[in-house]
Amino acid sequence: MSEHVLWRNIVNYFKYTCSGCATIFNIVLISLVIFRSPKSLGAYKYLMIYISAFDIFYSVWDVVWKPVVYSYGSAFTVFRHCKDSFFSRELSFHMVVAYCACFTFSLACFGVHFVYRYGSLNNEFREKYINGKKMCVLFIIPIVYGCWWFAISATMFHFDDFTDEYLNIGFHEDFYYDTKEAAIMVILFYWPSNDGKLHPNWKTLTAMANVWFMSFTSMFCVGYCGIKCYKTITKAFAIIQTQSKVAKTLQHQLFNALVIQTLIPANESLLILESTRNNDFIEFKSSPSNVEHKPDDDINYNLLNYLSHILWSTKLFLFHSTRVTSDFIMNTFTIVFDQPEFTPGQNVTGRAVFQTSVAINARYLKICIHGAAHTKWNESEQRHRDCNGTSECYTETVQYASEINYVSKETIAWSAKNGTNTLQPGNHIFPFSFPLPVDCPPSYEGFHGHIRYSIRVELDRPWNFNKKEREYFKVVPNFDLNYLPYGNTPIMQKDVKDIGAIFKKGIVTMTVTIPKQAVASGEALPITIDIDNCSKRAAYCVRAELKQNSHYNASRNSLFSHSSCHDHHKDDSKRVAETRKNIKITARTHGREQLMMKIPKLAPSFQCPIIGVEYCLSVKLDTETSLNNTLHCEFNLIIGTVSIINNAIPIAVSSLAPTAPPGDRTESMPPPYFSLTPTAPSDDSASPSAPPPTYDESMAVTKI
């Protein structure tokens, strides 16, 4: 078996697979258009059925008829072996020509598809060119192009004695039969002369100019209308001030679909355009039978032909985006909140806006609120098992997860009445209001868990996919630090170290004082550092950093609501702010330095059953020794949203200020924030607080 025969067998299996997929996908698409498409789809459903039915016909015919694309010398051919066929050679030739005419038919289908697509977005263009009976032109143009190409091919690319003799050598080498046994459509670009030179075949080039014209006009419609569609869609979205994440994602996907759909006919056109580049410099002898044949890369042409089936299969998926285009522009959901953030105990208010330019069949519209804390992570554990009397060690991945629902409610904002399941064209506004629990924790995004709150809108449509939209909102507690006991109490920490590793350099003492333990986002916290350097080395740098410590609890192999027992926890820490200062405290001297730590926009300290967030201020002093050269003090801070008033008096007196570095994590966790919230509204005029933090800002590291 020659490598050409082997290659044809491989490509045939490839072709059968692609044709089968294209047929199945088109049948499914036609079924969806007939039984599931809304009445508002109009004449477009007939255009989709028309194109898909042609695609089925084209794919089945290709498999049953089995035409072969072959190039030899300066000739590009499409033929079929007809020796044992029921059809004569002449009739088989016309069927081959009809098969080739389907190529221009397919390109015209892409062109008219994009013309209609643009017309569905531009009312003026639609009314002027494709409205009413003018729509029939879109159905007729592919037929005209197909018949045009059929007439040219049947009259100008017919086989004759010269082409049979010219191709006979290649047929014997590659197919093992004579050209008389095949019905061949021959496109001969150059005539070989007796002097061994090539001369352009102007008859063929004139015929091919018609094909290039048909390809160009189809491609022009695809490119021009595709660009117009994208500009129209972009302009339509620019009018909408508030776009949901789903809408933006669909817009981006729509652009990608337009680009890919535009490239499909461009790739298919290679079947014709590339054929003109076939061995333009072959040397010929005195007669065609004595041509020194340089084997052509006919594999490329076979591959291009069968790649078109992949492109047509891809087209079926992309045609769904045409349906999405109209549905996307005509039907849009947006969820608008009355304010960007809400506090526990407050009503979450806003409106769901549904914009449609066509009547929509629907049964009801549901608006839901959901808020939950969720933790999840995986860990690897070593296990042992008995294997044929020996102990075998293996690794098992164990999942830990927990979830607590804080709010989950729904309401029916609209329902069909009197048996009329229709939403009329226009803008429909559905207000909503849901109360938040007073004990719900703030919104939070962590490495191993999160706390999220969202509003979801769902439009139930019979015999169709429901339209859904979800938008997240932030919950920020009113954490007034004035009601926190001992929040305004100064705290002092001390660290003493005999610096140096083997050869000690002397004792250095660092005493750090902060004026209060509770601070609000946006405040500047002064840090006073007293240094008693009794060593032989100088101290050269003081630095402070603020860390956010997150703690997660979860149960093994479970995703159920919180219980009183959690069998595992995980910690995560990140630096959210830092400041440093270069100093010079020489040996055996004293000094005092001060740093200002600007508290960035952060989530307030909180603790719920499965997620807790606390903050730690770390102050360090560096000395000029190689080892054991850093002194370190830590303070647990509580971050709130309302600053402490200078003349505020603590509610009670206690020894909250630590005199030693913090101990166990559980003891240093902040209390639940809602236990610190005032029972009566605070006086806004006496609360010089920074605005509540945005959580995008709280993820960044602030350097001072």
pLDDT tens digit string along 657-676? 333 334 444 434 444 444 44
SS3 at position 342:
strand
Q: Nearest Cα to 702, choosing from 597, 572, 632?
A: 597
Check whether 518 has a pLDDT greater than 80.
yes
| 3, part of any domain | no
Q: Does 163 map to a domain?
A: yes
CB-based contact 447:363 (threshold 8 Å): no
CATH of the domain at 533: 2.60.40.640
Overall average pLDDT of the 507-523 stretch: 94
For residue 43, what pLDDT band results from cuts at 50, 70 and 90? low
Domain-ending residue, one of 449, 475, 501: 475
pLDDT (0 to 100) of residue 305: 47
Please, what sign has the CA dihedral across residues 663, 664, 667, 672? Answer: positive
Question: pLDDT band at residue 370, thresholds of 50, 70 and 90?
Answer: very high
pLDDT band at 654 (very low <50, low <70, confident <90, very high): very low
Q: What is the pLDDT of residue 375?
A: 94
Examine residue 60 and state whether it is found in any structural domain, yes or no: no
Cβ–Cβ < 8 Å for 631, 495: yes
Please indicate, yes or no, if residue 20 is contained in any of the structural domains.
Answer: no
State yes or no: pLDDT of 13 exceeds 60: yes
Domain end position, chosen among 413, 440, 475? 475
Q: Tokens standing for 378?
A: 């995986």
For residue 101, the enclosing domain spans: 67-328
Whether residue 527 contacts residue 637, with contact meaning beta carbons closer than 8 Å, is answered with: no
Instruction: Tell whether the model's pLDDT for residue 303 goes beyond 80.
Output: no
6 occurs within a structural domain: no
Who contacts 289 (Cβ-Cβ below 8 Å, separation ≥6)? 165, 168, 169
Contact in structure between 59 and 25 (CB atoms under 8 Å): no
For residues 554 and 45, the model is more confident at 554
H/E stretch holding 25 reads helix 3-35
Burial profile 23-50: b = 16 or more Cβ within 10 angstroms, e = fewer: bebbeebbeebeeebbebbebbbebbbb
260-299 confidence digits (pLDDT tens): 544 544 444 444 334 333 333 333 333 333 333 333 444 4
Q: Could you give phi then psi for residue 390, rounded to 5 degrees?
A: -120, 150
Are 101 and 148 contained in the same domain?
yes
Helices (H), 365-441: none
Higher-pLDDT residue of 186 and 581 is 581
Q: For the whole prediction, is pTM greater than 0.75? A: no
Q: Same structural domain for residues 555 and 579?
A: yes
Number of domains in the chain: 3
Dist. CA 428–CA 333, nearest whole Å: 10
Q: Strand 524-533 and strand 491-499: pairing?
A: unpaired
- Tell me, yes or no, whether 458 and 550 share the same domain: no
Residue 701 in this model has a pLDDT that exceeds 50: no
Tell me the pairing of strands 611-623 and 568-585.
Answer: unpaired
Do 320 and 202 lie in one domain? The reply is: yes
Contact between 485 and 651 under an 8 Å Cβ cutoff? The reply is: yes
More confident residue, 605 or 246: 605
Give the C-alpha separation, 68 to 305, whole Å: 9
Asked whether residue 26 is domain-assigned, the answer is no
Q: Are residues 368 and 317 in the same domain?
A: no
- For the chain, the C-alpha Rg in angstroms (whole number) is 39
Q: Residue 502's Cα: distance from chain center in Å?
A: 58
Q: Are 257 and 380 found together in one domain?
A: no
Cα dist from 79 to 73, 90, 207, 403, whole Å: 16, 12, 19, 67
Bigger pLDDT: 23 or 621?
A: 621
Burial label, 577 (beta-carbon count in 10 A; 0-12, 13-18, 19+): buried
Do 369 and 475 touch, CB atoms closer than 8 A?
Answer: no
pLDDT at res. 196: 63
φ/ψ (deg, to 5) at 610: -120, -10
Structure-model confidence comparison of residues 627 and 564, the more confident one: 627
**pLDDT given at position 686:** 37
**Same domain, yes or no: 226 and 121:** yes
The pLDDT tens digits for 217-260 are 888 888 888 888 777 776 665 544 445 555 555 555 555 555 55
Question: Is the torsion defined by CA of 500, 501, 506, 508 positive or negative?
Answer: positive
Of 415, 445, 475, the last residue of a domain is 475
pLDDT (0 to 100) of residue 318: 44
CA distance 587 to 458: 72
Could you give the CA distance from residue 28 to residue 316 in angstroms, rounded to a whole number? 10
Instruction: Output the pLDDT for position 249.
Output: 58
User: Do residue 405 and residue 525 come from a single domain?
Assistant: no
Q: What is the pLDDT of residue 194?
A: 66
Which of the four pLDDT bands, split at 50, 70 and 90, describes residue 552? Answer: very high
pLDDT at site 247: 54
Q: Which residue has the higher pLDDT, 424 or 611?
A: 611
Q: Are 311 and 58 in contact (CB under 8 A)?
A: no
- Residue 524: which pLDDT band, with cuts at 50, 70 and 90? very high
* 311 pLDDT higher than 70: no
pLDDT digits (tens, 9 = 90+) for 119-148: 877 777 877 787 777 788 888 898 999 899
Which comes out higher in pLDDT, residue 128 or 537?
537
Q: Higher pLDDT residue, 12 or 144?
A: 144
The pLDDT tens digits of the residues spanning 77-108 come to 888 888 777 788 888 888 888 888 888 888 88
pLDDT of amino acid 663: 40
pLDDT of 439 above 70: yes
Does residue 174 share a domain with residue 196? yes
For residues 140 and 250, state if they share a domain: yes
524 CB burial (10 A radius; 0-12, 13-18, 19+) = exposed
Please check whether residue 288 is in contact with residue 166, taking contact to mean a CB–CB distance below 8 angstroms: yes
Asked if 281 and 352 sit in the same domain, the reply is no
Q: Which of 335-339, 402-406, 627-631 shows the lowest per-residue confidence on average (mean pLDDT)? A: 627-631
Alpha carbon distance 440, 475 (integer Å): 8
* Cβ–Cβ under 8 Å, residues 369 and 454: yes
Instruction: Please tell me what DSSP assigns to residue 276.
Output: G
Instruction: Report the share of the chain in percent with pLDDT over 90.
Output: 29
> In DSSP terms, which residues pair with 428 in a beta bridge?
354
Of the candidates 276, 263, 278, 275, which has an alpha carbon nearest to the alpha carbon of residue 308?
263
| Mean pLDDT, residues 51-73 | 80
Banded pLDDT at 656 (limits 50, 70, 90): very low
Same domain for 311 and 378, yes or no, is no
Is the pLDDT at 647 greater than 80? The verdict is no
Q: What is the dihedral of CA 670, 672, 673, 678, to 10 degrees?
A: -120
Asked, for residue 2, whether it belongs to a domain, the answer is no
Band of pLDDT at residue 327, cut at 50, 70 and 90: very low
Distance in angstroms (rounded) separating the CA atoms of residues 50 and 31: 13
Q: What is the mean pLDDT of residues 682-688?
A: 39
- Quick one: average pLDDT of 627-642? 91
What pLDDT sits at residue 474?
A: 93
Q: How far from chain centre, in Å, is Cα 415?
A: 33
Please check whether residue 682 lies inside any domain of the structure.
yes
- CA nearest to 415, candidates 459, 375, 465, 384: 459
Confidence of residue 580 (pLDDT cuts 50, 70, 90): very high
Q: Which residues lie below 8 Å from residue 594, measured CB to CB, with a gap of 6+?
A: 526, 527, 528, 529
d(CA 535, CA 417): 87
Burial class of residue 694 in the structure, from the number of CB atoms within 10 Å of its CB (0-12 exposed, 13-18 middle, 19+ buried): middle
Given a contact cutoff of 8 angstroms between Cβ atoms, the answer to whether 221 and 112 are in contact is yes
